[in-house]
Structure 1
Amino acid sequence: MVLKPGHIISQCKESHDFEGFFIVVHEDKLNEILPSLHFVAPYTLHYNSNPIIEMTAEELESQYLIYEMLQKQIRLEGRPFNKLTLGASCELLFYNTLSIYASRSEDRSHHSRREELLANFIDLIETHFKSERAVNFYADKLFVTPKHLSAVLKEISGKTAGEWIDHRVILEAKLMLRSTGMNIQEISLALNFSNQSFFGKYFKHLTGMSPRDYRNKLSEN
């Protein structure tokens, strides 16, 4: 079962032999460890309409092994590199879950034109987000109007085209601040901002903190 913010499960019945485990992840933390939308977005719609799927015994075993590893790492809090190990373990669990869901939705022939529009839009973002942040650019590539593109994406994903673009740029910026030795000026140039000041204002507007504050906060952890 994969539940996202806003999901409501009703008409549940208690079973005397129920057994399970659950993991709760804050969306911001998930974004930190999963910078790529390319693999995730096409299955977001599948999550929404199919939050509960049946798993094979082998799939369940693989999930439980990762879960047990996470539990052990949590108990080792304070050890060097433990936060990085936890992040890698969460990433492993996420992609293993994604793999299970993807295997249930491999046939893309039944996807609607709107779903295909989202998937194609995400593919374009992955290719061009470092150099193109205008909705018009992506709409032209997809042969639709900017208004239509944003309306469709908002309806089926909860984000407009502009929000998706900003989301991807910020994920990459966070990744570069977290995982590279590049200074903020170099990062702003790599992401095609006209100058460091504009990048800083853009980053702060969308995250609530400056790039430097974000990097300093990471070092404190």
Structure 2
Amino acid sequence: MKPKENSVPVYKLTDLMIDDPQPELYDIKSDDFNIKVNTPLVELEIFKKYFRTDCFIIFLVLEGELRIDINLEEYSAKKNSIIIVSPNDLKRSVSTKDALVSSIAFNANFMTKATDTIKNISEVFSYLTYQSLPLWTLEPKDANILKKLLEQISYRTVDIKEHPFGKELLYTHFNILLYELGGFAKKYSIFKSTNLSRKETLVMNFVALLQQKVKFQRNVRAYASELNITPKYLTETVKEIAGKSAGEIIDDFVIQEAKIILSDSNLSISEVAEELHFSDQSFFGKFFKRHTGISPKEYRKLD
């Protein structure tokens, strides 16, 4: 039976780490990122009821079996299998029969910071969409690649304060993980046989429009008009499917575009503002700092 919508809790990443919380890493918040390697899964009653999260979770099963219900479908992941769970997925734990796993969890905030240098992020990250089944059964050699990568990422969390480029190394290994998963997706990912719902199609069309027009259009009403719907319906639908409002996703795209231009061009800050159709450099600077915590000039120096 499908649970009532208003009865489903949304857990933050730290809520999932009840028995073994991870401390904050340098300036990376524990709410944004967590990794565990070679860890037995403990069955907890609160996860046996349907819930959602504000983060992505990837499990690699090393031994035993993990059974999990995702969007009202039950999946059984055994040795060398991975389960990929997105924030808006409805999920609950069914059983963990002597399951030993390595897992990584991260939210949109961590992903945005870590994937600054990935230009084809939508292609690399396509396997996290609702179009693909969340369970992949890997060949042993590919499972071993992921196992070692997750161990490397875990090591980089320990080393992050000691190494002068600790955070950069963590982000680099995280990006390598995404590229490996992107490659494996073409080999193992199975597309769902069901057609996309109207709401899912709407969100895909919205994102496609954003990719074309993000440099010169930041208004939710304008995108809603092109999609022949009301701004309220666009915002509510995007929030339901993607876990963020339409305005938040627009802002994310604008910041990503700004970072790319700041990193890969010799344009002045004023010219970058003009390129992105901001009214002036001051408005662009305030927008950028509100979303990143630093000014465009400071970002360019860091980069």
- Verify same fold: TM over 0.5: yes
Change (3 A) 1:193 1:29: same
Which aligned pairs between 1:1-221 and structure 2 lie closer than 5 A? 1-3=83-85, 9-15=92-98, 18-25=99-106, 27-35=108-116, 38-39=122-123, 40=125, 43-45=128-130, 52-67=135-150, 70=153, 78=163, 84=168, 86-101=170-185, 103-106=188-191, 110-178=195-263, 180-215=265-300, 218=302
Separation (CA, whole Å) in 2 of partners of 1:9 and 1:162: 30
The aligned amino acid for 1:29 is F
CA drift at 1:52? 4.9
Separation (CA, whole Å) in 2 of partners of 1:124 and 1:2: 27
CA drift at 1:98? 4.0
Cα deviation per residue 1:122-144 (whole Å; 9 max; x = unaligned)?
11111110111111222233232
Change (3 A) 1:151 1:61: same
Change (3 A) 1:149 1:42: farther
Separation (CA, whole Å) in 2 of partners of 1:104 and 1:59: 14
TM-score, with structure 2 as normaliser: 0.56
Which one has a larger percent helix, Structure 1 or Structure 2? Answer: 1
Change (3 A) 1:9 1:209: farther
Q: Is the 8 A contact 1:121 1:142 kept in 2?
A: yes
Which one has a larger percent strand, Structure 1 or Structure 2? Answer: 2
Identity of aligned residues (%): 31
Change (3 A) 1:106 1:52: closer
Higher relative contact order (CA 8 A, sep 6+): 1
Give ranges in structure 1 of 5+ residues lacking alignment: none
Change (3 A) 1:52 1:108: closer
Change (3 A) 1:139 1:117: same
